[in-house]
Amino acid sequence: MTNAQIIALLKKEIKPALGCTEPIAVALCVSRASEELKKNNINVETVQVELSANILKNGMGVGIPGTNMVGLDIASALGATCGKSKYRLEVLKDLTSNELLQAKKMVKENKITVKLSNTNLKLYVKAIVRGREKNSDKYHEAISIVQDNHDSIIYVSLDDQVIVDKASKVMDEISIQGDAGVATSSANEHLNLDIKRIYDFAVSVEYNDIAFILESGEMNMALSDDGMSHNYGLNIGRTIAASQNDCVYGKDTFLKYAMSKTAAASDARMSGSRLPAMSNSGSGNQGICATVPVMAVAEKMKADKEKLARALVLSNLTAIYIKGYLGKLSALCGCVVASTGSACGLIYLRGGGYENMTAAIKNMIGNISGIVCDGAKAGCALKVAAGVSTAFQSACLAIDNICISSNDGIIDEDVDKTIKNLALIGSKGMETVDKMILNIMINK
């Protein structure tokens, strides 16, 4: 895989997202269908969304930006009242108080229907939006579909007219040779990307070619500052920062600072902050986990921008690589993946090399690979904090050349095979767990 291809991959998978990306994907899908009605002077009256189980699971209990509300009903209604599909994962950024009132009215009047779709796809949203022309009893119907990636709109129609009909793999191209070549979630082997290639790229690529990665850190640190300044969710970040119990976090340790800053960003994001996160592989929390711990340690170490950029590339690209095998959504908590990336970034900041990095990855997978995803919610900040803590532990051990043995569980001597083992468990082995979690959540 060439440097240009890797840079394109980074830019494709690292993008701003306002709010949790599952309800935002729903809002995006509804907004695109609603736009077809509106530009034909048709008032939106009802919205029905049909969702894959993982979208439903991750959208049920998470805060929607600027609303003080949670859930998919209000996300769907906002897609109809204020959503602008051109903003992609920031679809709700122009929300006004009047549009929020309109959305609340739609929900109260039962104009929004949320259903589980009969699909085996992990990431699937279908929006069916209906309305009438002014002074007419004739109904019109617009349909849009988001599939495989949170902002991949693969189908749009109005009544019997098909407007967009493309495979999702074509929608999210990476330019490999001009417009040829497509990178999908299963294309890592085809593109010859592995942990050694990731390391070699991060430490040798021209700094100017990766300087853009610094924006991800700055954006997520701003979100962290918001979480530190306001009462969001469980206030995990603020509570850790305020702790004076030296036997737990210490007074001024790198770990305490990184845990509090990262958890605070998750606190804010999961509870309705109006600030965007720079996401990784379709997840804001994964973007936060892959960047904020690295930013926090670099700040404490007073690392220069180039060293920081290379550490952020290592972290983010490792997370993207693992998610490539695991899939966008699974029963496995994304903090396992993203904090594994941050452990690699910490290794680089501390002067470690490739062998230390592979040891850190194995230590992470041997430790927290069993954390399940039970939906997006305020409590995700707890798992984020746990991921950061484990990343520090794994990196510190790896720097001292301590690595979990290949005799242990799913750990293989080959680090890439270890990652594939993790992904196989998360994507295939835990399918029954995923269904059980959703069933428990729905029937509470």
Tens of pLDDT, residues 198-218: 999 999 999 999 999 999 999
Q: Are residues 148 and 224 in the same domain?
A: no
Residue 155 in any domain: the answer is yes
Residue 399 lies inside a defined structural domain of this protein: yes
- What pLDDT score was predicted for residue 167? 60
Give yes or no: residues 147 and 210 share one domain. no
Give me the count of residues in the chain.
444
pLDDT interval class at 130 (50, 70, 90): very high
What mean pLDDT is predicted for residues 229-235? 95
The string of pLDDT tens digits covering residues 407-427 is: 999 999 999 999 999 999 998
- Report d(CA 304, CA 298) in Å as an integer: 8
Does residue 170 have a pLDDT over 50?
A: no
Greatest alpha-carbon pair distance for the chain in Å reads: 75
Is 176 domain-assigned? no
Q: Is the pLDDT of residue 179 over 80?
A: no
What's the token pair of residue 322? 């693992």
Residue 313: what pLDDT? Answer: 98
CB 179 within 8 A of CB 189: no
Lowest mean pLDDT: which of 80-94, 101-115, 247-261, 373-387?
247-261
Q: What is the CATH number of the domain that holds 427?
A: 1.10.4100
Res. 282 pLDDT band, cuts 50 70 90:
confident
Same domain? 217 vs 348: yes
CA–CA dist 267, 440 (Å, integer):
24
Digit-coded pLDDT (tens) for 96-118 = 999 999 999 999 999 999 999 99
Is the pLDDT at 237 greater than 80? The verdict is yes
Q: What mean pLDDT comes out for the span 81-99?
A: 95
In sign, the C-alpha dihedral spanning 316, 318, 324, 329 is negative
Please report whether residue 322 resides in a domain. Answer: yes
Q: Smallest Cα–Cα separation from 283: which of 234, 237, 329?
A: 329
Residue whose C-alpha is closest to residue 89's, from 27, 36, 41: 27
- Residue 120 tokens read as 């085996």
Cα 373 from Cα 376, distance rounded (Å)? 8
| Pair 345, 205 in one domain | yes
Q: Write the CB contacts of 19 (distance below 8 Å, at least 6 apart in sequence).
A: 62, 63, 64, 65, 92, 269, 272, 284
pLDDT, tens only, 391-410: 999 999 999 999 999 999 99
Distances in whole angstroms, Cα of residue 232 to Cα of each of 51, 92, 269, 375: 28, 19, 9, 18
Look at residue 26 and give its three-state secondary structure.
helix
The answer to whether the CB of 123 falls within 8 A of the CB of 52 is yes
Torsion of CA 28, 103, 269, 328, to 10 degrees: -30
Q: Which of 153, 170, 187 corresponds to the end of one domain?
A: 170
Report angle CA 229, 230, 233 to the nearest 5 degrees: 130
In terms of domains, do 425 and 295 share one? Answer: yes
The pLDDT > 90 percentage for the chain reads: 75
Cα–Cα distance, 438 to 180 (Å, whole number): 39
The beta strands (E) that lie in 134-182 are given as 139-147, 153-158, 161-165
Structure token pair of residue 216: 């991800």
Confidence class of residue 246 from pLDDT cuts 50, 70 and 90? low
Please say if the pLDDT value at position 438 is more than 80: yes
Which residues form the domain of 39?
19-170
Q: What is the pLDDT, as a whole number, of residue 186?
A: 43
Q: What is the pLDDT of residues 335-384, one digit of tens each?
A: 888 999 999 999 999 999 999 999 999 999 999 888 999 988 999 999 99
Give residue 128's pLDDT band: very low, low, confident or very high (50, 70, 90).
Answer: very high
Q: In the prediction, which pLDDT does 247 show?
A: 67
**Do 225 and 106 sit in the same domain of this protein?**
no
Q: Give a yes or no: residue 372 inside a domain.
A: yes
Same-domain check for residues 255 and 205: yes
Q: How far apart are the first and last CA of the chain?
A: 47
Average pLDDT over residues 290-300: 97
Asked if residue 287 and residue 162 are part of one domain, the reply reads no
* Mean pLDDT across the chain: 90
Which residue did the predictor score with more confidence, 168 or 216? 216
13 within some domain: no
Residue 178 lies in a domain: no
At 74, the amino acid letter reads: I
236, 141: one domain: no
Phi-psi region of 158 (alpha: psi -120 to 50; beta: other; left: phi over 0): beta
pLDDT at 362: 98
* CATH number assigned to the domain comprising residue 40: 3.30.1330
Spatial distance between the Cα atoms of 173 and 184, rounded to a whole number of angstroms: 8
Residue 182 pLDDT class (50, 70, 90 cuts): very low
Q: For residue range 141-167, what is the model confidence (pLDDT) as tens digits?
A: 999 999 988 999 999 999 989 998 886
Q: Which amino acid is at 387?
A: G
Q: What's the Cα-to-Cα distance from 377 to each of 42, 173, 177, 208, 232, rounded to whole Å?
A: 35, 31, 41, 37, 12
Structure tokens at 358: 């592979």
State CA 370 to chain mean position distance.
Answer: 19
Which of 170, 204, 231 is a domain's end point? 170
Please answer whether residues 24 and 89 qualify as being in contact, where contact means their C-beta atoms are separated by less than 8 angstroms.
yes
Q: Which amino acid is at 191?
A: L
- Residue 183: the pLDDT is 34
63 beta partners: 70
Domains identified in the chain, total number: 2
Residues 265 and 330 in one domain: yes
Residue 374 lies in a domain: yes
Let me know whether 133 and 237 are in one domain: no
Is the predicted pLDDT of residue 386 greater than 60, yes or no? yes
Residue bearing the bigger pLDDT, 437 or 305: 305
Same domain, 254 and 316: yes
